[in-house]
Amino acid sequence: MSFIKHKFIFFSFIFVLNLLMVKGSWTPRYQVHINNNLPDGSNPLRLRCKSKDDDLGDKVRSVNEEFTFAFNEHVLGETLFFCHFYWNSKDKSFDVFNDTMADKCGLERKYGLNFYYGCYWKVQEDGFYFDSQLLPTPEAQYEKFYEW
Ligand SMILES: *[C@@H]1O[C@H](CO)[C@@H](O)[C@H](O)[C@H]1NC(C)=O
Q: What is the DSSP annotation of 32-47?
A: EEEEE-PPTTPPPEEE
Show the CA angle centred on residue 106, arms to residues 32 and 29, nearest 5°: 55
Q: What residues form DSSP beta bridges with 93? A: 84
Q: What is the pLDDT of residues 2-38, one digit of tens each?
A: 777 787 788 887 777 776 665 556 788 999 999 999 9
> Which residue lies with its CA nearest to atom 13 of ligand 1?
100
Segments in the chain below pLDDT 50: none
Counting atoms of ligand 1 from 1, which one is nearest the CA of 94?
Answer: 5
pLDDT recorded at residue 108: 85
For residue 144, the SS3 value is: strand
From 38, 52, 138, 135, select the one nearest 88 (Cα to Cα): 38
pLDDT recorded at residue 23: 54
β-strand pairing of 66-72 with 114-124: unpaired
Question: Which domain covers residue 69, as residue numbers?
Answer: 24-146
For residue 8, the SS3 value is: helix
Residue 3 belongs to some domain of the structure: no
Counting atoms of ligand 1 from 1, which one is nearest the CA of 98?
Answer: 1
Count of structural domains within the chain:
1
Residue 6 belongs to some domain of the structure: no
pLDDT recorded at residue 1: 56
pLDDT recorded at residue 2: 73
The CATH number given to whatever domain includes residue 92 is 2.60.40.10
Residue 28 belongs to some domain of the structure: yes
